[in-house]
Amino acid sequence: MVDVSGKVATARAATAECRVRFPVDVADQLHRNGLKSAKGGIVDTAIIAGTMAVKRTHELIPFCHPLPIDGIRFAIDWHDARTLRIECTVRTVHRTGVEMEALTGATVAALTVYDMCKALSHAIVLGPAKLVGKRGGKRDVGKVAGKEKTP
């Protein structure tokens, strides 16, 4: 692991997203059923799974530091008629950022959506998964929680 003991603890945040693209018939069925499958509510289950994943990122990614997580926010909604957009924002006050936690939360939430819908089709496609933005540390990148980065 990188030694961060010499860094100052600052407020940090990161937002990541992952998309889930469904075949037309599956998307139509999910629209009709209010994003519910035979296993239950897709969005609520994805948020729970993503939250659990954020908290355990350091156990999944070998060189991630265990971090105190101050906040996790998910936004899950249709990007278009066939694509669900999952956004995860994570906040902490620490010496290192939370990009990996946000990416882990978004992707595990997407995997959970796949699991909840795979009985409908195995042609569901995940991705892209990407960092939308981060704030804190040496530099800000992109957008975090709907706010433009400040120069």
Catalytic residue list: 115
Tell me: the pLDDT tens digits for 71-120? 999 999 999 999 999 999 999 999 999 999 999 999 999 999 999 999 99
Q: Whole-angstrom Cα distance, residue 13 to residue 132?
A: 11
Burial 119-150 (b: 16+ CB within 10 A, else e): ebeeebeeeeeebbbbbbbeebeeebbeeeee
Tell me: the pLDDT tens digits for 120-146? 999 999 999 999 999 998 889 998 975
Burial 24-62 (b: 16+ CB within 10 A, else e): eebbebbeeeebbbeeeebbebbbebbbebbbebbeeee
**% of the chain at pLDDT higher than 70:** 95
- For the chain, give every domain's residue range: 10-133
Q: Bridge partners of 21?
A: 83, 125
Q: Which helix (H) or strand (E) holds 58?
A: helix 57-60
For residue 1, the model assigns a pLDDT of 87
Which architecture characterizes domain 10-133 according to CATH?
2-Layer Sandwich (3.30)
Q: Which helix (H) or strand (E) holds 12?
A: strand 10-21
Q: Which of 18-22, 41-45, 58-62, 140-144 has the lowest mean pLDDT?
A: 140-144
pTM exceeds 0.85 for this model: yes
* pLDDT surpasses 80 at 147: no
